[in-house]
Chains A and B, each alone.
Chain A
Amino acid sequence: MKKMHIFLLVGVAVAIAVMISFTTDLTTYDTIASAKQKEGTYVHLIAKLDKAQPIEYNPLTNPNYCSFTVVDSLGSVTKVISNKPKPADLEMSERVVLKGRMKEDGFHCDDILLKCPSKYKDEQAKGLRHPGSKQEG
């Protein structure tokens, strides 16, 4: 067996080992209910902002504390606690992906990804309204 083949095999073995160890680091996309079942596990939570509930963020008292409520597609509700400033577009988001762990007092989240409504809907609502037509919503 040639030296090069040994290196090649080592390379393949390392690459496979790396990918296997990667699979152990992977997380899951969860609903609120399933996240509650694995309390303490790091998950990606897909939900949307409950606009009826207040967003608690007061940068003067603490710029590193933001709390709000989300509801998911199955109707479950949870409080979200984040130690980042409130994302600027949070109120307008139609969907949020929250990274963090479910705890007793709510979902402790360290990253918030917003999905804002697609440009087109917005454009139709704002830019392209016929001057005479009625305003929607």
Chain B
Amino acid sequence: MEFVGENLLPGQIGHFMIVLSLMSALFASVSFYMGFKAADASSRPTWMKLARIGFAVQSISVLVSFYILYHIINNHLFEYKYVWQHSSKALPMEYLLSCFWEGQEGSFLLWSFWHAVLGWFIIARSGKWEGPVMSVISFAQFALATMVLGVYFFGQKVGSSPFVLLRNEMDAPIFSTPNYLEFVTDGNGLNALLQNYWMVIHPPVLFLGFASTIVPFAYAVGGLLTKDHKGWTAPALPWASFSAAALGLGIMMGAAWAYESLTFGGYWAWDPVENASLVPWLILISGLHTNLIYKSSGYSLRATYLFYILTFLLILYSTFLTRSGVLGDTSVHSFTGSGMNVQLLLFIFAFLIPAGFMFARQYKQIPSIQKEENLYSREFWMFIGSLVFFFSSLVIIGKTSLPVFNKIFGTSIAPPQDVEYSHNQIQVWVAIIVGLLTAVTQYLKYKDTPKKTFYSKLLWPTAISLAIGLCISYFVGVAYDKKGPGFWLALHIAITAAVYAIVANAGYIWSGMKGKLKLAGASVAHIGFGMVLLGILISASNKVTLSYNTTGISPLQMKDASDVNNNPQENLTLIKGVATDMGKYMVTYTKDTLSPRDQKRYFEIDFQHKQTKENFKLYPDVIENNKGGEGLTPNPDAKHYWNKDIFIYLTFLSDPTAKQKDTTQFAKKMVVIGDTSFYSNGMWTVNQIEVNPPDEKFAAYKGDTLLAADISVIAKDGRIYKARPAFRLKNNTLDIITDTVMSQSLVFTINKPGDMEKREVEIGLKESNAILDFVTLKAYEFPAINVLWLGIVVTVIGFIMSMFQRRKAAKRYNE
């Protein structure tokens, strides 16, 4: 059948480019290998030339397929399944980029794109290491190309292509008509949670981090391949710094995204997806430090091999965890499997087996020093720090791998009740040790340190840190005491340890390096890391729920509320226009508007501080009609202060259509003033009728003739409410001003005066749930969160500084 209106050429080019990149990657990998391993040494330069051509073809084909995927998304070619599945016409330009990496295929392409970019830097700069390093990277490019191949081999599907056509993938009667495209007018759209500016930038940076971890790995494998165990360590160092910066930044951008658009009330939840990318970073940091130790003292080369190799393998493992669907019920991210599990496992083993085998075989030949490290040497304590990081990451990944354990052994073990605490109670000790080591170790010299100068130099930083730490403990404190005094105390100690890391490293720039900032990359990174720790500790231990339900309209229905959850009553319902008491603030839900640009409904929540009268507005929003569901997806909003954030998000909304559906009529009733009438939940009385009462409520109608009823409502539970419906006469038109008793769902009107002799008046009464516009929300106060964000920036700057510093050193070393 001939289909009308399809644009098949881009897809055909795309398919071709993927196949080409697969072939050329394999060719480049083999050629780079021959370029340093060919038996006939004279043929090696030729191999290298061929290899570069192969890698050039590979890079170009990746770039072209990258561009084509963007092209079909940008032009809304919905005949392609990827476009239809991940994008829609209404999306603003920048989110079309997010569509690109929403799916597995696009993100694999992104990963491959970064490999290609990094590859050319290596070709340009790595000299004799080009062959081995590029051979590994080209092989990774080959493996990634198989992921987006989408071809059947012997009935087994290999990879999943982003260029498949919708009509070939879906089984629907619509595809039996040639002009089906006329009916596929729009795509499925982008998941609402990803419609956030962080999602435009976080994936590229994270994947740059993922991609860059292969470079230290490739250098280490290169060392094993060439048996030159020494030479690779210097050029690998700047790459490890770069990778630590990119991966760290990528992870924390994800945290920033979670903070701004997810509603678990924080930035880190120890979710498997988060852990899976944190763990390689931790081990990379271990490797970076052992690498430095080796360079300066000759110790711990074996550990450096191990850590760099594990870093990359754990990146592959995290890819498996997040994309195979094995996490299932344990992750809020809930990825669905793509039927590529076998292939994802092979991806790991294709690197694990050769690297592991070579490492094990050559382990004995890798030089190591038998003599014990001096206790007063930098290398000793740096190595301890690396070990602590390493063990900490093993524990994290062990806990995270529970679903894998279930899969392998067929068990059905579930995570602990409080997953976050299960990690926190361990990692707080890691933070303490690492904080202390980060502070102290800088003051030690390699090999040996004179004890006297060591202690005297360390004296002031220690004293100052203790003072600051105690001040924070005393004035800011640790509000989090739910888990007992042990954890509470550990948090206090950890805060001081983090301060110590900051102060001691700042002091070291001054005293140890005489203020030479150029060489201070490591110290700057350590200061940043200390700030990250401090920000995490203070914000997490002093996070306060503001929205405790204090409205009073909520008689507790639960017998033992505390039993259901340890943190009950955290949600507060705000009725439109009614100021509600929320801790330090009076909050009012004033209005909501639908933004036509991004299809989000913004709710204006007005905050007024009770004492200071400070006034501000927050705009949490919900995305209506999110992809694949009719439910509402809420997004938080936060008011940023220099020292804290006020953070709110909506947890429930009134049904906006309920009002139109509401068909309840006003029941008219002639009542005598002073007599009592009943409604479903109590009784009400008209106390009196007033003409032009001086109420504030009616101030706007000054000058008109106004007749208001003063009504008392007495609910069954004994609470008394006031209602003041009115009507006014202006220019001979009658205006009815209703009044609502929100908590009783009552609406009153005063229709007309009756027989005044009998003191009669006609009142309209409506009982309906739909009358109310309300939102239910949660509000938190996060102190010191800016210390965390600033700390990340400082850390990354530190890594970049030390990257340049190490690159210079490596150059000198090569010459």
Binding site for B on A (CB under 8 A): 2-4, 7-8, 11-12, 14-15, 18-19, 22, 25-29, 42-44, 46, 57, 59-65, 81-89, 92, 97, 99-100, 103, 105, 108-110, 113, 115-116, 118-120, 122-124, 127-131, 133
Contact = CB atoms under 8 A, between A and B. Distances in A.
A87 to B, nearest CB: 8
A49 B222 CA distance: 56
Interface string B751-767: 00000000000000000
Interface stretch (B271-279, B392-400, B487-495, B607-615): B392-400
B558 A133 contact: no
Please indicate which of the listed interface residues A63, A83, A131 has the most CB atoms of chain B within 10 Å of its own CB.
A63
A66 to B, nearest CB: 9
Contacts of B336: 118
A85 B554 contact: no
Nearest to A81: B564
A63 B651 contact: yes
Given A29-B412, A44-B415, 13 more contacts: A19-B398, A22-B416, A59-B571, A62-B549, A83-B558, A84-B651, A88-B634, A108-B564, A110-B564, A116-B629, A118-B336, A122-B628, A128-B184
A78 to B, nearest CB: 14
B367 interface: no
Interface in B362-421: 372-373, 375, 380, 383-384, 387-388, 391, 394-395, 398-399, 402, 412-417
Contact of B557 (A27, A61, A88): A61
B570 interface: yes
A46 to B, nearest CB: 8
A60 B573 contact: yes
A46 B414 CA distance: 11
A88 B415 contact: no
Nearest to A123: B188
The 8 nearest A-B residue pairs measured at CB: A88-B631, A25-B416, A89-B631, A110-B565, A44-B414, A85-B652, A130-B174, A85-B651
B264 to A, nearest CB: 10
A127 B81 CA distance: 13
Interface in B566-585: 566, 568-573, 575
Interface of B: 85, 170, 172-174, 177, 183-184, 186, 188, 329, 332, 334, 336, 372-373, 375, 380, 383-384, 387-388, 391, 394-395, 398-399, 402, 412-417, 422, 426, 549, 553-559, 561, 563-566, 568-573, 575, 627-634, 651-652, 654, 742-743, 745, 769, 772, 774, 776
B575 A65 contact: no
A29 B403 CA distance: 12
Given A26-B413, A28-B412, A118-B336, A63 B174 contact: no
A22 B554 contact: no
Given A128-B170, A128-B184, A26 B652 contact: no
Nearest to A88: B631
B416 A119 contact: no
B557 A62 contact: yes
Given A86-B652, A109-B564, A130 B173 contact: yes
Nearest to B383: A4
Contacts of A131: 183
5 contacts: A11-B387, A22-B395, A26-B416, A44-B414, A115-B334
A79 to B, nearest CB: 13
Contact of B563 (A65, A86, A108, A122): A108
Contacts of A2: 372
Please indicate which of the listed interface residues B402, B564, B772 has the most CB atoms of chain A within 10 Å of its own CB.
B564
A60 to B, nearest CB: 6
Contact of B395 (A19, A42, A99): A19
A24 B398 CA distance: 14
Chain A interface secondary structure, helix, strand, loop or mixed?
Answer: mixed
Contacts of A81: 558, 564
A60 B774 contact: yes
Contacts of B743: 60
B492 to A, nearest CB: 21
A92 B629 contact: yes
Contacts of B631: 87-89, 92
Please indicate which of the listed interface residues A64, A100, A108, A128 has the most CB atoms of chain B within 10 Å of its own CB.
A64
A136 B329 CA distance: 29
A87 B632 CA distance: 9
A63 B557 contact: no
A75 B552 CA distance: 40
A100 B96 CA distance: 40
A127 to B, nearest CB: 7
Contact of B776 (A63, A113, A118): A63
A84 B416 CA distance: 20
Given A28-B414, A59-B652, A128-B170, A22 B183 contact: no
Nearest to B628: A119
Contacts of B375: 3
Contacts of B398: 19, 22
A123 B556 CA distance: 42
A64 B569 contact: yes
B387 A133 contact: no
A28 B186 CA distance: 43
Given A28-B412, A92-B631, A131-B183, A8 B573 contact: no
Nearest to B422: A25
B410 to A, nearest CB: 12
Contact of A113 (B329, B388, B402, B556): B329
Given A11-B391, A83-B569, A60 B772 contact: yes
A23 to B, nearest CB: 8
B372 A65 contact: no
B568 A83 contact: yes
Given A26-B413, A85-B651, A128-B184, A4 B399 contact: no
A124 B745 CA distance: 41
A66 B254 CA distance: 32
A65 B652 CA distance: 12
A44 B634 CA distance: 26
Contacts of A87: 631
A131 B183 CA distance: 8
B651 A22 contact: no
A15 B177 contact: no
Given A19-B398, A29-B412, A128-B174, A62 B556 contact: yes
Given A25-B417, A83-B569, A128 B630 contact: no
A4 B184 CA distance: 66
Nearest to A87: B631
Given A7-B384, A89-B631, A129-B174, A44 B329 contact: yes
A28 B414 CA distance: 5
Contacts of A100: 564
Contacts of B416: 22, 25-27
A19 B327 CA distance: 19
A130 B558 contact: no
Nearest to A106: B564
A38 to B, nearest CB: 13
A3 B632 CA distance: 58
Given A25-B422, A27-B417, A124 B395 contact: no
A63 to B, nearest CB: 4
Contact of B391 (A15, A62, A124): A15
Contacts of B776: 59, 63, 85
B575 A60 contact: yes
A43 B414 contact: yes
Nearest to A128: B172
Given A4-B380, A7-B384, A61-B557, A119 B627 contact: yes
B762 to A, nearest CB: 28
Contacts of A122: 628-629
B559 A105 contact: yes
A9 to B, nearest CB: 11
B189 to A, nearest CB: 10
B372 A3 contact: yes
A63 B630 contact: no
Nearest to B412: A29
